[in-house]
Structure 1
Amino acid sequence: QQISDLAAAESRQMSVKLTDTLAQALDTMSRYDLEDLAVTDEDGRVVNDLRLSEVLAFALKVYGRANGIDE
């Protein structure tokens, strides 16, 4: 069997570039109801992934610092 046999026809991996902004990544996640995105370099190679849970944890940390809340 091939992966294409197992993957849903409408399924596709969305990605963002290393140079894209966090806002662009969140917009893509929201638009396509995704919880993670592949992150690609300038040659289109996957170099990492970005997970919604990581973005939320980062946002909470930044919010806490800005409001004097200890971790």
Structure 2
Amino acid sequence: MTLRKRWRDLDRGTVGQAPERYGYYELGTDGDVVDRGVGVLRDELKEALAYGRADQVRWETATSKAHADRLLADHE
């Protein structure tokens, strides 16, 4: 199951708006999920942008790493 949130362009502006909190994220291309993960959202998205892993992103914030891991498990 994927997140039911709108896709955002994965660019510097979006990365700058990402919270410095743990969360679950999905990376996409043409509306299809190509990768997913957990971590501190801004850091993870900086890396994804630098390596050109996708064109789009959406995320859900979490209260802790354990919570982010549960979100990942719920969406796999």
Q: Give the TM-score category using the shorter length.
A: 0.3 to 0.5
The structure whose residues are more often strand, as a share, is 2
Question: How does the TM-score come out when normalised to structure 2?
Answer: 0.31
Tell me: higher relative CO, structure 1 or 2? Use CA pairs within 8 A at least 6 residues apart.
2
Question: How does the TM-score come out when normalised to structure 1?
Answer: 0.33
Structure showing greater Rg: 1
